[in-house]
Amino acid sequence: MTQIHSLMRGLAPLLGENPYRRETRDAYWQAGGYRDLSPDLLFNRIKAAGLRGRGGAGFPAATKVQAVRASGSVPVVVANGAEGEPGSVKDRWLMRARPHLVLDGMLRAADMTRAARCYVYVADDEAADSMRRALAEREPVVPTWIVRPEHTYVAGEETSAIRRINGGPALPAAKPPRPFEAGVDGVPTLVANVETLARIALLAARPGTPDSLLLTVSGRGLKPELVEAPVGTSLQALAYRVDRLDTPGVLMGGMFGGILGPGCLKTTLEPSALAAAGSALGCGAVHFLTAGECPVGLAADGLARLAAESSRQCGVCVSGTAALARTMASVVHGTAGQEDLASLTRWSQSLLRRGACGLLDAAANLASSLLRSFGPLTEAHLGAHLGARCTDCSADRAPDPDRFLAEPPTVRTTTHPVSAPR
């Protein structure tokens, strides 16, 4: 079972006082939620705080809100909780344990953009039930619906959410237009990750709340942890927490941020530092390798997962992810040659920004980061160097695309009567 831990000084604002128990409307109201606040004042707080989206791309939240505010149309807001990255549990936990924090943030986003409708986009059964209860406990002033996609990697991409809400499949669409230009039913749409919305609610209730991140920390032999940490926390602090200071590498951001080498532990979890390291926060999933575990095998498993999750809409994605996965598997099995390594190098650059969504980019980044951080080790796996291959890889090693899976912490449901005002 995934455990919960805080690296914050004092109360962890996102985890709250009792992260293993579902919050009631009563408790949320008493903690300062659902209070009236000018949407312009809140927008200025978001802008001043420099809040970035927590769904993967890290785009400035104020810029996204402003694009919809300035559209001149009556927009729609989508709370995106699909969470397709297999190594992440934070969004499901937020909706299971802190549904009113998410709902408050969504309604404030609707207020700032003058939206006429809201949608909660969620794949997880327990999270969907929790959000339904929250909507019943605090009937929103803006009509709100829950929409359920299948739990797949690509379902959480923002155009996938739009297509599913519009009655189609949860598959990415070509861009432009982007959702802020034409989304649900063709009107400007703000698609915001549920952690982003939770941060908006915190900024409304308590200006000056320390900026923090929800991280899913995992690795072979580790009990996965949901960790709230200050923005700027180092990977070393997380590694110390889980006794992985001897890690040979770190898989960042689910699979979006690629693999960093053993010298990465001084890297801090903030956009500029991660970009300088050739990585990104992504969904906030941090996977530590254990001593003796091979990063080449890790990359092979990640690429097998991505190839299996392709929506099979873009020919370049279908062929590209399959080629990357197949070639990396041959490296692990010791049957690849220098020409295969050259192909991996070429594909890791030529496939970037070629697909309708970020899946192909994640695959290309995973391959390029392995070659950048572990080039000599990867070359040592080639057929010409069989005698030097590592003990973690073998000719009969099967891909393990499920090695990154984690389940959210157990959340107990409260049955206290609801008495706080609407």
What superfamily does domain 10-205 belong to in CATH?
NADH-ubiquinone oxidoreductase 51kDa subunit (3.40.50.11540)
Q: What is the pLDDT of residue 388?
A: 54
Express each pLDDT in 197-243 by its tens digit: 999 999 999 988 889 999 999 999 998 999 999 999 999 999 999 99
User: What pLDDT was estimated at residue 348?
Assistant: 94
Residues in a beta bridge with 21? 412
Nearest to 271 by CA among 228, 326, 224, 213: 213
Position with higher pLDDT, 86 vs 288: 288
Strand stretches in 37-166, DSSP E: 76-81, 117-122, 144-147
Alpha-carbon gap, residue 360 to 3, rounded angstroms: 31
In tens, the pLDDT along 331-371 reads: 998 889 999 999 999 999 999 988 888 899 999 999 999 99
**CB contact at 8 A, 362 and 306:** yes
Higher pLDDT, 256 or 97: 97
**Which residues, in sequence order, are CB contacts of 66 under 8 Å at separation 6+?**
43
pTM over 0.75? The answer is yes
**Which CATH code is given to the segment(s) 295-388?**
1.20.1440.230
Residue with token string 């009990």: 223
Domain boundary assignment for the chain:
10-205, 295-388
